[in-house]
Chain A
Amino acid sequence: MSQPTLDKEIAPKRQRMLDMILALGGLKEESAIPLNKVAEELANLKTELAPFTDAILAFPDSYYDKFLEAVNKSKMVSEIHDRGILKESISNIESALSKTESESLQELNSLLSESLARMTKSEESRETSVETDMGSMISTISSLVSEIASAVDELEKSAEMEAESARAELVTLLETLNAAKANASAEPEVALEEIQKLGTKTRYGPGLRAAAQVKRGKRDGRIDDERFQTLVPENMLTEAYRGVIMFILAKMGSKTVVQIGNLMETSPQAVQNALLTMIQRGEVEMVGLEGDAPVFSKVLTELPNSTLVLKRIVQQVRGMVKSLEGDIAGTANQSLNKLQTLLERLQILGLYDEATLSEPINNLRETVDQATEAVLAFQTSDDSENLRLLISAGLEAFARFRLKITLEKGPNLVSGTNVYGEKLDPEVYQTMMDTYLENELERGTILVLIRELGALTALDLAERTSIPQDRILRHLLRMKRDELLTIAGEEHGYVLYDVPRTLSDAEMAIMTVSNIVLQLSEARVELNRILDELKATDIGNLTNSLEVFSKARDKLASVRVNGVVVDEATLVDVEDEIRSAVLLAYRTRTRIPSTRQKITLADLADVDVPSVLDEYRALMGYAPLLGFGTIEWDQSKCLGCKSCEISCPENAIELKQRVEIPKFFEISDDALSLLPSSKSLFYRTVKQLAAVKPSKDIILDHEVPGFGSVEVDLWLCVACRTCVRRCPGPESGALELELKWNLPEVVKHITSTS
């Protein structure tokens, strides 16, 4: 009865599931492939790869040469204004250079570095002589606004076209919906099937879940027929509507209720009903008005940066307008109105291609910033960095206008009264304003720094300013909530915050290329190393590094400088070569026993798992995982005989030294009569003697044959059912295995339906 000693560390269950799939496959094939064939396969691979590898390894250099040429020709570097991007690209290229040599990269790097140096220098030497020609600035703004407007027109047109193409799909959706509607009362089960089908097409999660729940409830008998009769035509059908509405909003843009109703050939009331819940669920929001009718849109997880930037510009201009007088004020007001409409239109558009907007919006932002500065007529005579920072911060703060308004309104509150007739204590006002001013200035400083230096973390900011880090973090969070900042990733465990930026083509190109440069340089080193001495264990790495080349090539093919793909010929040529090499590597990988995928689903379905149990054990040292399940233990049927523990191949089940004596008193007479005679006599005698009903379990301090409670460690259980089969308890025994996931069954199912 001794148990085999287990390895101290048992692989997690999922790992074992994979092991099992591999080994089961392996059991069938292992003998077919002798290990000495591995060397042969590797040698073959090396010869076959040879014609491709040279081209693959060479293509980056060729691309870099051409890229440098294009950069020089287009003077692209001068178009890069974002110092953060420059810095990142430089560091990428530098670390790539530390791995591989390339003159073109070297040159590109120096170009970028020069540009960065120039920028930093000009920054320093720039006299903040503020442009005060308001008129020209306002006209620039209005011309930029029309530029943006025409871009938005284009965007709307293309959205319209997309919507048109979605219309055909909508028709089929509506057919299914109508079929479901027709069946809903008469044949609810058929209707539910239709609704589920619709759900898979619209991919509306809540609807799909609800349908599945109803179906399960019906099957398990939790939902009776009558209820089912009402649920399907009412709730389920509404869910189906919601799916279609979601489809319309996602594919055809924002719509009013009436528009949706027309598209769906349904009454607006029905749409309205369905929509209400969707708003509550946070799936749909109102983004504007069309006439008096509200326009609804799908809630986006993230707004496009251009929308965010425009939102900020609108706020800024709104503040600016108030400080202007005369004609200028009128023109500015017009621009403001136009901008507000544009913002609404962008919000209705939801997601769109930002590239066309980035240029004018960036220009607009700069101009508006300058104008704001001019409006506030801030003069700086001291060019010490700190003061400049403080002034910029002040500018920033005023630009957001809250401060300005507060400063204007505040004294009124002290001198006069508010609408409720209350007066503000000057001292309270003083402290309030001090804190407020301080906060706003600090936030301004942070924004200025981030805008100029690129994304920064709370730690970076704390180092650069004298503000304590916790305060910085609070400001950052506040500004994130106000959509003044976005999260740009992380660095050393700190979150990187950035202002919403739109990248220009040039910036985008340099960023993509510099990233790829780094990846490629690493992959080249790796590939050279592997090919130098091709080993079976490296086959996985070989496929990985070839994949890096393949993906890099694809990305480079999408990078355009002045609208042209650089070195297109080479990229096209090398495409086939990379693909062939990847395929060759994969093919060899499948042939080498140590790494090949050992089994196909079809194979697995044919494996009779119990019959290979012993073989598997011998191979792996533990029993195969046959699925995931839970084991229910019924104390009233348990004889405490430990047979389960003894028979368990994995030591997963154990008779614990705990007697659940309160349960003795809950065993029914029927259950007692099923038990073996002495066991039931024991329970009866205990009940007969008891003066009180026990409330606590008895914890035994050593094993007592016949007593205890069964516990299963589901992390060890392989769902082999041995314990269930061995249990000598009455009827089907004290143990029941509920298989939640049965590996062989699942495999059979997959293979039969695919």
Chain B
Amino acid sequence: MDDKKSAVLVCTCGKQLQLDYDFLDTQVKSLNLTSSATVHDSVCQDDGLEKISELLKASDGHLVIAACTNQKIQPRIDQYLASKGVDSSQIQYTNIREHSAWVHNDMTEASKKSLDMIRGTLARSAKSSKRTLEQKEIATHVTVIGGGIAGIESALSLSNLGYDVSLLEISEELGGHVKSLPVVAPTGKSGKEILSGRLEALQNDKNIVTMMKTKVKFITGEMGDFTVHYSSEDDMEKTLQTSAVVLATGYKEFKPISMEEYLYGKNPDVLTQFELSNMLSEGDLVRPSDGKPVNNVVMVQCVGSRDENYKKDCSKLCCTFAIDNSLEILKRNPDAQVTIVYMDIRVPFENEMIYKESREKGVDYIRGRVSMTWKQDGNTRVRIYDSLLDKYFETPVDLLVLSSAILPPDGTSELSETLGYALEDDGHVKELYGKLRRNETRRRGVVAVGGVTRPQFVFEAVTDAQAGTLIIHNELQGGKIETTSRGAVLDVEECVGCSLCAQQCPRGVPLMIEQTETEEADEEQKIVFKAAIDTLNCHACGVCQSLCPSGATQLNFLSNDQLWDQIAASLEDAGPDYPITLCFYCEECSVSTIDIVGTRKMEYPASTRLIPVPCAGRVSIIDILKAFEHGASTVMIASCETDRCHIGGTGNEIAQVQVDVARDILNAIGWDGNRVDMFRMFSAEPDRFTNAVNEMVKRANNLGPTPVHKGTAGKWMEVTE
């Protein structure tokens, strides 16, 4: 593609920035790729916006805006231009305020850096292409897996939003665990009461098809076109086309058979908390062994939870459930003696109120553990260790109730193999990003709600289900997706079918399609695959691009050529006398961190050049090597914190391995691997960026001229070892 000249609009931010604008103006005008240069005092104000509109028209959409952070200014400009019907898709931004003027005291240095960055951005702009509005229509059908409270709530909400829903339940009855809860704190209602209205609504809802005794086997396809393979009652495998999937499979209660101190599974009077709930909601409170009335109940908390051998952390719900059930027992039999043996009582939210109530009603709390259970004269006896008194008690019990751990449901891991969501260490579904994208999974078009993500109270599961529904609605947009596509575009001709993109895409967007026709024609019986990428499904991180061996998949707003030209142009003045540190930063955590460094005016050396990328995973090893080839002394990548990659969870890790292998290669070819490094940013700790930059600038100075500067690069043939 020919290089296009771009208009440059430089903002003085109300003449506040300490930059040499005359220098910038003359220098920018002298650049080859500049069609016009304008210095403006307030690009973000009305006259500035008008100027932008005017420049865009004059330069066929190629415009570089050098102003404050695009995080602030871009939404305003886009909105304005959209209202005027002007295409803003090719505008390139460079931040000369937070990333330059505000962080460098030396005006000459800051101006020089700003010029370099404008030059780089011009190069990026020169090969930009126009992105158009794209549309696609998809079926407004969503599949909800799991007919518990979260599943039911999701189905109802989706139906209200106009979607057709298939609600698949593995058991014979809807309602999950909730239907067996005798009382749900803090409402005081029973589980059945809470469900009843929803079940009724479900029955009257024509958009929802409920399928019982249905087990999902696996799911193929992508958002907008998933195929659910399931087996129904008659054990036949059937399929179902759907556009999105809500995973609401709830949780599984731990059965403490292996914990011998409780005799669970051997003595019928030893129950889990949920089994007691079942017993209470069915009406009879008697000893399962002989049907005698229940007077003495001992409940043991944290059975399997907070236990290195079973579930390491707290199961959150069990304390409240135990108190609920104790109160229910006391309601049935006011003379009953309920003892709760606990490690710590943890009752969140308003549940503290029922804890107080239980205390008032005489539930006995003993801090300690049950060390032994045995049968004596037809009675069950337990030995309790009271850790506050440091004493052992023995007492006969009618029921020993174990508040056992809450585990992810069976099949979660199996389903993840085809559905592509990530799992936590404890087996629950991992949320895409804990703070901002809680209901999304790693796989686009798949949300997980309710107990399958973490132990949740009833009302939490309901809220979660509603939130998940909105995420789905946001993605499917009622079946007509219309957006200016920003994402990876695949050139099928170039694709060699290596599947690296499909293997590594954080959101599982690329699909590998077997080319059976090509295979039939092939003499060598090659198995031929080609990738298929739905750009509208893409999150535009660029991981596929950085791994693609053939450049077949490229982001439509940042092609390889664009980035390589920007690297070259930004480093035009780099050399041994002026060692430059080039910093690629992701436009998620890193840009926020660097902007905050700017707004706090935390100074760092001006020998740095910053290039934005959508995600650190976009930076390929070639990009890193290109930077050195063009004279960078050190290269750093700023990414999101571990496990906090906003774009899909793994973009930063892909970047990390590229950096690691780049270091190994540099060491091997006579460089120093320390010239490249990656740093994890966190906007609440702006120091992280300044520390990182200072470190890399220090390394640039200490390591001295690179082989490129010295002219020894590429001369490996002359070196004998």
Measured CB to CB, the residues of A under 8 A from B are 1-2, 639, 641-643, 646-647, 659, 661, 665, 675-679, 681-682, 685-696, 698, 700-707, 721-722, 725-726, 728-729, 732-733
Are the CB atoms of A677 and B551 closer together than 8 Å?
yes
In whole angstroms, what is the CA distance A647 to B665 when docked?
29
In whole angstroms, what is the CA distance A145 to B251 when docked?
102
Are the CB atoms of B500 and A692 closer together than 8 Å?
no
| Known contacts A704-B661, A707-B661, A728-B498; is-contact A689 B549 (Cβ 8 Å) | no
Contacts A/B (CB < 8 Å), 29 sampled: A1-B503, A639-B500, A641-B503, A642-B500, A643-B498, A643-B499, A659-B661, A659-B664, A665-B716, A676-B549, A678-B548, A678-B622, A685-B626, A688-B629, A689-B708, A689-B713, A690-B669, A691-B670, A691-B716, A698-B661, A698-B664, A704-B658, A705-B500, A706-B549, A707-B661, A721-B525, A722-B527, A726-B527, A728-B499
Residues of chain B in range 476-532 having any CB-CB distance to chain A below 8 Å: 494, 496-500, 503-504, 524-527, 529
Q: How many A-B residue pairs have CB under 8 A?
A: 142
> Chain B residues with Cβ under 8 A from A722's Cβ?
527
Q: Does B707 contact A (CB under 8 A)?
A: yes
CB distance from B255 to the nearest CB of A (A): 25
Are the CB atoms of A692 and B716 closer together than 8 Å?
yes
Question: Which one of B551, B626, B707 lies within 8 Å of A691 (CB-CB)?
Answer: B707
In whole angstroms, what is the CA distance A641 to B495 when docked?
13
Number of B interface residues in the complex (CB < 8 A): 50
Residues of chain B in range 651-693 having any CB-CB distance to chain A below 8 Å: 654, 657-658, 660-661, 664-666, 668-671
> Chain A residues with Cβ under 8 A from B671's Cβ?
689, 691
> Chain A residues with Cβ under 8 A from B504's Cβ?
705
Are the CB atoms of B503 and A704 closer together than 8 Å?
no
Residues of chain B in range 604-662 having any CB-CB distance to chain A below 8 Å: 620-622, 625-626, 628-629, 654, 657-658, 660-661
In whole angstroms, what is the CA distance A350 to B65 when docked?
105
Closest to A726 in B: B527
| Known contacts A643-B499, A704-B658; is-contact A685 B713 (Cβ 8 Å) | no
CB distance from B488 to the nearest CB of A (A): 14
Q: Does B715 contact A (CB under 8 A)?
A: yes
> Chain B residues with Cβ under 8 A from A690's Cβ?
669-670, 713-714, 716
Most buried by A among B548, B551, B661, B719: B661
> Chain B residues with Cβ under 8 A from A643's Cβ?
497-499
Question: Which one of A691, A704, A733 lies within 8 Å of B669 (CB-CB)?
Answer: A691
List 6 A-B pairs, minimum CB-CB distance, nearest first.
A676-B550, A691-B670, A641-B498, A692-B670, A690-B669, A694-B668
> Chain A residues with Cβ under 8 A from B499's Cβ?
641-643, 646, 728
Question: Which one of A682, A696, A725 lies within 8 Å of B625 (CB-CB)?
Answer: A682
In whole angstroms, what is the CA distance A643 to B549 when docked?
13
> Chain B residues with Cβ under 8 A from A675's Cβ?
549
> Chain A residues with Cβ under 8 A from B550's Cβ?
676-679
* Proximity string of chain B (686-721) to chain A, C-beta cutoff 8 Å, 1 when within and 0 when not: 000000000000000000000110001111110101
Q: Does B172 contact A (CB under 8 A)?
A: no
Besides A677-B494, A690-B713, A694-B669, 14 new A-B residue pairs in contact (Cβ under 8 A), listed by A number = A682-B625, A685-B622, A686-B665, A689-B625, A689-B707, A689-B708, A689-B714, A690-B670, A691-B669, A691-B670, A695-B721, A696-B668, A700-B661, A702-B657
Q: Does B537 contact A (CB under 8 A)?
A: no
> Chain A residues with Cβ under 8 A from B713's Cβ?
688-691
CB distance from A3 to the nearest CB of B (A): 11
CB distance from B503 to the nearest CB of A (A): 7
> Chain A residues with Cβ under 8 A from B60's Cβ?
none
| Known contacts A639-B496, A705-B500; is-contact A689 B629 (Cβ 8 Å) | yes
Are the CB atoms of A641 and B669 closer together than 8 Å?
no
CB distance from A606 to the nearest CB of B (A): 21
> Chain B residues with Cβ under 8 A from A677's Cβ?
494, 550-551
In whole angstroms, what is the CA distance A431 to B500 when docked?
82
Are the CB atoms of A678 and B560 closer together than 8 Å?
yes
> Chain B residues with Cβ under 8 A from A689's Cβ?
625, 628-629, 666, 669, 671, 707-708, 713-714
Are the CB atoms of B547 and A706 closer together than 8 Å?
yes
> Chain A residues with Cβ under 8 A from B714's Cβ?
687-690
> Chain A residues with Cβ under 8 A from B657's Cβ?
702-705
Closest to B712 in A: A691
In whole angstroms, what is the CA distance A732 to B671 when docked?
35
Closest to A680 in B: B549
Q: Does B410 contact A (CB under 8 A)?
A: no
> Chain A residues with Cβ under 8 A from B669's Cβ?
661, 686, 689-694
* Proximity string of chain B (545-563) to chain A, C-beta cutoff 8 Å, 1 when within and 0 when not: 0011111100000001000
Q: Does B54 contact A (CB under 8 A)?
A: no
Are the CB atoms of A678 and B668 closer together than 8 Å?
no
> Chain A residues with Cβ under 8 A from B335's Cβ?
none
In whole angstroms, what is the CA distance A700 to B657 when docked?
9
Are the CB atoms of A681 and B622 closer together than 8 Å?
yes
In whole angstroms, what is the CA distance A348 to B715 when docked?
75
In whole angstroms, what is the CA distance A703 to B658 when docked?
10
Are the CB atoms of B526 and A705 closer together than 8 Å?
no
Are the CB atoms of B665 and A698 closer together than 8 Å?
yes
> Chain A residues with Cβ under 8 A from B666's Cβ?
689
Are the CB atoms of A725 and B670 closer together than 8 Å?
no
Residues of chain B in range 60-74 having any CB-CB distance to chain A below 8 Å: none
In whole angstroms, what is the CA distance A32 to B436 when docked?
63
Closest to B708 in A: A689
In whole angstroms, what is the CA distance A250 to B190 when docked?
103
Are the CB atoms of A676 and B661 closer together than 8 Å?
no
Are the CB atoms of A728 and B654 closer together than 8 Å?
no
In whole angstroms, what is the CA distance A729 to B548 when docked?
13
| Known contacts A676-B550, A681-B622; is-contact A706 B629 (Cβ 8 Å) | no
Are the CB atoms of B716 and A687 closer together than 8 Å?
yes
In whole angstroms, what is the CA distance A685 to B629 when docked?
8
Closest to A642 in B: B503
In whole angstroms, what is the CA distance A643 to B500 when docked?
8
> Chain B residues with Cβ under 8 A from A661's Cβ?
665, 668-669
Q: Does B417 contact A (CB under 8 A)?
A: yes
In whole angstroms, what is the CA distance A703 to B547 when docked?
13
CB distance from A649 to the nearest CB of B (A): 12
In whole angstroms, what is the CA distance A691 to B550 when docked?
27
In whole angstroms, what is the CA distance A506 to B194 when docked?
104
CB distance from A639 to the nearest CB of B (A): 5
Most buried by A among B550, B626, B712, B719: B550
CB distance from B546 to the nearest CB of A (A): 9
Are the CB atoms of B551 and A678 closer together than 8 Å?
yes
Closest to B414 in A: A2
Question: Which one of B526, B549, B629, B715 lies within 8 Å of A679 (CB-CB)?
Answer: B549
Most buried by B among A646, A676, A682, A732: A676
In whole angstroms, what is the CA distance A706 to B657 when docked?
11
Are the CB atoms of B496 and A676 closer together than 8 Å?
yes
CB distance from B532 to the nearest CB of A (A): 15
In whole angstroms, what is the CA distance A681 to B713 when docked?
16
CB distance from B636 to the nearest CB of A (A): 18
In whole angstroms, what is the CA distance A681 to B620 when docked?
12
CB distance from A66 to the nearest CB of B (A): 70
Are the CB atoms of B719 and A693 closer together than 8 Å?
yes
> Chain B residues with Cβ under 8 A from A702's Cβ?
657, 660
CB distance from A575 to the nearest CB of B (A): 57
CB distance from B511 to the nearest CB of A (A): 12
In whole angstroms, what is the CA distance A191 to B629 when docked?
66
In whole angstroms, what is the CA distance A732 to B669 when docked?
30
Are the CB atoms of B549 and A685 closer together than 8 Å?
no
| Known contacts A675-B549, A691-B716; is-contact A647 B527 (Cβ 8 Å) | yes
In whole angstroms, what is the CA distance A289 to B345 when docked?
110
Are the CB atoms of B503 and A639 closer together than 8 Å?
no
> Chain B residues with Cβ under 8 A from A726's Cβ?
526-527, 529
CB distance from A662 to the nearest CB of B (A): 8
In whole angstroms, what is the CA distance A680 to B654 when docked?
21
Residues of chain B in range 534-551 having any CB-CB distance to chain A below 8 Å: 547-551
> Chain A residues with Cβ under 8 A from B496's Cβ?
639, 676, 728-729
| Known contacts A690-B669, A705-B503; is-contact A733 B715 (Cβ 8 Å) | no
